Amino acid sequence: MRTYELLSSGRLCYATSLGAQICGDSLDLLAELPAESVDLFMTSPPFPLLRKKAYGNEDQESYVAWLTRFVKLARDALKPTGSLVIDIGGAYQRGLPVRSLHQFRALLAFVDDLDYRLAEEFYWHNTAKLPSPIEWVNKRKIRAKDSVNTVWWLSKSDFPKADVSRVRVPYSKSMKRLLENPGKYYQPALRDSEHDIGKAFGTDNGGALPSNLLSFANSQSNDSYLRSIKELGRRGHPARYPLKLPTFFIEMLTDPGDMVVDFFSGSNSTGWAAETLDRRWLSFEQDPEYCALSSVRFLDNESMESRKLKVEQIESGEALMLQ
């Protein structure tokens, strides 16, 4: 039996051979997941922004308590070697050029109250983000542009499954020159710290190990999801993270066949990334329109008429098997 067949609280919108999109309340769905069945929770909850959004963001005062309910249930379903990666953007306090501390209060609640470990903090730099907030950046010019989200990598144990060598990044030009001729560009020497790195510089490992600053533009105006949404004359989910973000963590923290779950799936970037990487996946989203429209990610090889028909079928209550 597939995992989604064990869930009775939500409605199956569509499924593939690897995963399923479920429409329903994530609190109910998380509670139904089998204990220790998930290798990675990868998600981005609605942020507590001051201006209400169509996707239902929480206010700042109640945000931490609201989010902790989901994260507690996720811990129960997480394998001992599993991870929770959660992308949380920052915000300002109402009417003031002073930052909210919601993402840090949430982290402390996860660690102190729910017994998660902070494996590592990451920062996603959105290189294409427009200047905001308008009042403090554009008008008064008393604050810098806010373009970095905190991404907490949390785990259930001290040693979650991870392999950073899977997510190497391209070498710099200078490093490429050094690898071509190590003796010309670098002479091994013992540093003041007595750390000898001479031999390491002569080895080509296929790329450099990444840092915890991830620079991905979120300007996917021409990706297949947005192209399909535009051709359908519909409005897609307004708060998507780039596919590179879930791809990075799925590759680093899971193996093919592992289970990846997103309990705020939105446009289902996580599900699509997991599908392309041969991981099993489940995506939970309470908005039926967003659920139906996310199916276009899995219909890129079909005609626009076929995509339109299948979106309408899902919206009417049918559960489709895709691919």
**In this predicted model, what pLDDT tens digit does every residue of 138-162 receive, in sequence order?**
999 999 998 999 999 999 999 999 9
Main-chain dihedrals φ then ψ at residue 95, nearest 5 degrees? 75, 5
- pLDDT for 56 equals 47
- pLDDT for 195 equals 54
Judged by average pLDDT, the poorest of 73-77, 121-125, 240-244 is 240-244
- pTM of the predicted model, to two decimals? 0.89
- pLDDT (tens digit, 9 = 90+) per residue, 179-229? 666 656 555 555 555 555 555 556 777 788 999 999 987 765 557 788 888
Main-chain dihedrals φ then ψ at residue 182, nearest 5 degrees? -55, -40
- pLDDT (tens digit, 9 = 90+) per residue, 85-125? 999 988 888 889 999 899 999 999 999 999 999 999 999 99
- pLDDT for 194 equals 55
Confidence check: pLDDT of 299 > 60: yes
Distance between CA atoms of 148 and 214, rounded to whole angstroms? 9
Q: Are 282 and 78 in contact (CB under 8 A)?
A: no
98: left (phi over 0), alpha (psi -120 to 50) or beta: beta
- pLDDT for 53 equals 47
- pLDDT for 55 equals 39
Catalytic site residue from 44, 83, 147, 228? 44
- pLDDT for 197 equals 54
Confidence check: pLDDT of 307 > 70: yes
Distance between CA atoms of 283 and 12, rounded to whole angstroms? 10
Judged by average pLDDT, the poorest of 32-36, 52-56, 64-68 is 52-56
Catalytic site residue from 45, 48, 160, 242? 45
Architecture field, domain 3-169+212-321:
3-Layer(aba) Sandwich (3.40)
Distance between CA atoms of 149 and 125, rounded to whole angstroms? 7
Q: Is 283 a catalytic residue?
A: no
- pLDDT for 268 equals 96
- pLDDT (tens digit, 9 = 90+) per residue, 262-284? 999 999 999 999 999 999 999 99
- pLDDT for 275 equals 98
- pLDDT for 232 equals 87
- pLDDT (tens digit, 9 = 90+) per residue, 156-183? 999 999 999 999 988 877 777 766 666 5
Where along the chain do its domains lie?
A: 3-169+212-321, 170-208
Q: Are 32 and 3 in contact (CB under 8 A)?
A: no
- pLDDT for 80 equals 98
Confidence check: pLDDT of 238 > 90: no
Catalytic site residue from 39, 46, 83, 87? 87
Sheet-wide strand order for 259-262: 213-215, 117-125, 148-155, 78-88, 38-43, 259-262, 280-285, 19-23, 11-15, 320-321
Q: Which two tokens stand for residue 137?
A: 């950046």
Question: How sure is the predictor about 77, in pLDDT bands with cuts at 50, 70 and 90?
Answer: very high
Q: Is 87 a catalytic residue?
A: yes
Q: What is the mean pLDDT of the chain?
A: 88
Helices (H), 221-303: 224-231, 244-253, 269-276, 288-294
- pLDDT for 217 equals 73
